[in-house]
Amino acid sequence: LNKNEFFQYEISAYANNNKKCMHNLNYWKFGDYVGIGSGAHSKITTNNNLIESREKINELFDILIRKTSLDKEIKYLIIYKKALYNADSVNENDLLIILKPVLNSNSVWKSHSLYLLAEYFYSKNQKQKAKEFFNQILQVENANQDIANETRKRLNRDLSE
């Protein structure tokens, strides 16, 4: 690698022309990041203070959703990410309330939101509810094709009668 002008900047990362992976460098420099999903971890600082409170992180999500002028699809993405962030710690009604704006839209994030709900109920062994949400995905006009394909697999493999 050195012969081809690649230099090592991490234990297992090399770059040439100073084209380092900024994503990894953020972690090494203790930058902020938001983890979404099961077992995910976030590190957010304000005034050099780490924010670990789920309540405070949800307040920040709400500021983005309610008090910023973002494109509607970006807001739907943030709502979806808020639901992902909370999926392991809220009840089904709270999760449905978070996702309601996306579910009542024609957003490109609707199929993602339905999939999250379907997997949520599947993980709780509420297979009939899971099946209902999986079936809704197949009715979404602009459903993400990867999600639609995974939905078909799940329905055929785990939820066929």
User: Coil, strand, or helix at residue 30?
Assistant: coil
How confident is the prediction along the chain (161 residues), in pLDDT tens digits per residue?
778 777 776 666 777 776 777 666 666 666 777 776 666 667 777 666 666 788 888 998 998 888 888 888 889 999 999 999 999 889 999 999 999 999 999 999 999 999 999 999 999 999 999 999 999 999 999 899 999 999 999 999 988 87
User: Coil, strand, or helix at residue 42?
Assistant: coil
Backbone phi, psi, residue 6, to 5°: -100, 135
Specify the pTM. 0.69
Token pair listed for 23: 């994503």
Query: Within 13 Å and on the Cβ side, how many CA atoms surround 44?
Result: 15
Side chain identity, residue 41: H
